[in-house]
Amino acid sequence: MNSHKVISIRNLTPSTYVIRMEKKDFTFRTGQYITLGFSGSIDRREYSIYSAEQDDYLEVLIKEVEDGLLSKRLKKCKPGDELDVDGAFGHFSLKDDEIKSKKFMFISTGTGISPIHSFIHTHPEMDYTLLHGIRHKEEAYESESYDPNRYILCTSGENTGDFNGRVTEYLLKNPVSPDTICYLCGNCHMIYEAYDILEKQGIKLGPIHTEVYF
Amino acid sequence: MKTIAFKTLGCRLNQYETDALASTFQNNNYKLVDFESEADVYVINSCTVTHQSDHKSRNFISQANRRNKDSVLVVTGCMANNAKEELESRDEINYVLENDNKSALFSLVDSHFKGELKHPSQLDKDLFAYGATEKGFHTRSMIKIQDGCDNFCTFCIIPSVRGRAKSRPFQAILDNVKAVINQGAKEVVITGVNIGRYEFETYKFDDLIEAILNLDGDFRLRISSLEPDGFGDKFLGLLSHPKMTPHLHLCLQSGSDEVLLRMRRMYTVKTFRNTVEKVRAIRPDFNFTTDIIIGFPGESEADFTESCDMIKNLEFGHVHAFKYSIRKGTRAERMTDQVLEKTKTERSEILRGIAENSKLNYRSQFIGKIQRVLVESTDGNTAKGYGEHYIPVQFEGENLKKNTFYSILIKDIAAENDGLLLGELV
């Protein structure tokens, strides 16, 4: 476990923010996560890495959890504060031999877009479509950083996105081609439903990758 | 001559480590005695995977202290990592040895008797520096290939107490296997925390298994517990190798996809079932054993029924079912929909009944067939051991010898004795 200085906090909505930390010699594979906590504290939480492999800083996207132990305290961090970073962990990763040759569908809800942001910014040349499911448009975190022709915003709480409804409803109305590699990241129910839909549309088990957010 | 007694809880990896440590002590003029006897040294190789494991470990610590208050009492294993401060505060415990120092146990105890008191932090940290297991508790020779786990399943404390995944060098493993075969081992068991994730330089798990199977010698290879996500078709192909035993302990944990997602397991019910069916298409009597967690947070009646159905449908040879218990520091600790203890107990009874039937059904198919049994214990006339499918077999004869293969015709099954197969020499 190493100590990393906070560089900045970037508020995206009243409850969601990005912590940027110094990277030091930390290495990871895009899609992996870290555990984060205050130096010396045993309380730690897992966060997917938001930044790209080649960035010279390390970022995580965090949503404040009501009654959360850490997310509220992390938001109050000041530049120069020390955080303990452990990792990188996880197997939610792209396969090297597929990145340039395959077509990808990234399906995420809420802050589940974090590892997808890292995928796309690490490999901007990828042939991808990104579905991001949220309730209100303000939760479209840094949507301007994606190619608008590849980004589909699904808003379920209001008709302000590219599609009014859940990502699963979008998938039912817009079947995915069976030769697509799918990565799903978000809450358990979305993953469960989307998985069934994709399977019925002919996507075989192998090319579906999932990461659950709670 | 000093006497030493071990008590091992939990996984095969702990068993292996105890075997290796016990051998080292015996090779250095210590006498191994039963844990129930008075000893100069007691070693509790603990487990912390459930509340029950913690409870058992504490109980054995008290027992050891009662037997000989002047003994050197060492607690090691996963509880030593997870509850270090609590254990260090207990006066009756001389040393608390975390997993990464465990291999240096002999050095610690030997120094103690020479009057040189070492703090465990002064010891070498090496996850793989264990000696051979030839004088341990098991006939089967366990080989550690890996330690730690990076999967971070939401219920599991193991990554916190065993650390990050680390693989033992490829050639060191092959040398170790060759050595135990030369010493007379007839069955080699591959062990670790998450062995399917073995990776050393360019070698993956299936490369290692292939290389071991290609070694010369009259031995058979057994894989211990395996996660369903860490291997591919090459490994499944190796299951047909003549030296490979037709048994895998493949950890299912739940028969519900929703629960598997919340557990952050990296497979689905369908992929698990496909694996079992693919293997049994080639070898219909292949023995799959598994683990099931009962009452994981949010487990509904429907989810539980799906687990029961999986056991019935896949006809596991053995199911290790245990009730979910909160482990501090895991993600599932913070899940709000914890299942009532009473419900977990009721479900346990139901599931254990189904698992028992499944076991007896599965094992009954061997009546009238021949098993190649490696004898683990015998008084010369009655012997007990395991067949290639990892089912216990008992038979009678004359001058029967331990660590010897016998061809046994299975005649009956002792349902009242945990499904023990009864046979006779061919």
- pLDDT tens readout for residues A67-117: 788 999 999 999 999 999 998 988 899 999 999 999 999 999 999 999 999
**Nearest chain B residue to A208, by CA:** B267
The whole-number average pLDDT for the span A48-73 is 93
B423 pLDDT above the threshold of 90: yes
Of B150, B229, B264, the CB nearest to A212: B264
B262–A188 CB contact, under 8 Å = yes
The whole-number average pLDDT for the span B57-68 is 94
Query: In the structure, what pLDDT confidence band is assigned to residue B129 with cuts at 50, 70 and 90?
Result: confident
A210–B261 CB contact, under 8 Å = yes
- A89 at interface of B, judged by CB pairs closer than 8 A: yes
Residues in chain B within 8 Å Cβ distance of A189 = 258
Report pTM.
Answer: 0.85
A214–B257 CB contact, under 8 Å = no
**Nearest chain B residue to A205, by CA:** B271
The whole-number average pLDDT for the span B96-115 is 92
Beta bridge partners of B221: B188, B244
* B-proximal residues of A, 32-71, CB under 8 Å: 42, 44, 46
pLDDT at A207 (0 to 100): 64
- A212 at interface of B, judged by CB pairs closer than 8 A: yes
Map out the domains of chain B with their CATH numbers: 3-122 (3.40.50.12160), 139-245 (3.30.750.210), 249-365 (3.30.750.200), 370-425 (2.40.50.140)
**Nearest chain B residue to A196, by CA:** B257
Lay out the sheet containing A45-48: strands in order across: A45-48, A33-38, A82-89, A2-11, A16-22, A57-63
- DSSP calls for A117-146: HHHHHH-TTSEEEEEEEESSGGGSTTGGGS
Supply B163's token pair: 């650390």
**B156-188, pLDDT tens digit by residue?**
988 888 888 899 999 999 999 999 999 889 999
The distance of A46 to chain B (nearest Cα, Å) reads 9
Residues in chain B within 8 Å Cβ distance of A93 = none
**Nearest chain A residue to B336, by CA:** A214
Residues in chain A within 8 Å Cβ distance of B152 = 46, 89-90
Report the residue of A205, A208, A209, A213 to disrupt the B interface, i.e. the one with the largest count of B CBs within 10 Å.
A205
Query: In the structure, what pLDDT confidence band is assigned to residue B257 with cuts at 50, 70 and 90?
Result: very high
Q: How many alpha carbons fall within 13 Å on the CB side of residue B166?
A: 11
pLDDT at B43 (0 to 100): 96
Residues of B with CB under 8 A from a CB of A: 150-152, 154, 229, 257-258, 261-262, 264, 266, 268, 270-271, 274, 329, 331, 334-335
B152–A42 CB contact, under 8 Å = no
Query: Are the C-beta atoms of residues B77 and B83 closer than 8 Å to each other?
Result: no
Of B257, B266, B270, the CB nearest to A192: B257
Cβ contacts below 8 Å, chain A against chain B, sum to 35
Of B150, B274, B331, the CB nearest to A89: B150
One-letter amino acid at B252 equals L
CA distance A81 to A8: 10
- DSSP calls for B224-237: -EE-TTS--HHHHH
Q: How many CB atoms lie within 10 A of CB B377?
A: 12
CA distance A195 to B149: 26
Supply B347's token pair: 């479900």
Map out the domains of chain A with their CATH numbers: 2-89 (2.40.30.10), 96-213 (3.40.50.80)
**B317-369, pLDDT tens digit by residue?**
999 999 999 988 888 998 989 999 999 999 999 999 999 999 999 999 999 99
Report the residue of A32, A36, A188 to disrupt the B interface, i.e. the one with the largest count of B CBs within 10 Å.
A188
**Nearest chain A residue to B274, by CA:** A205
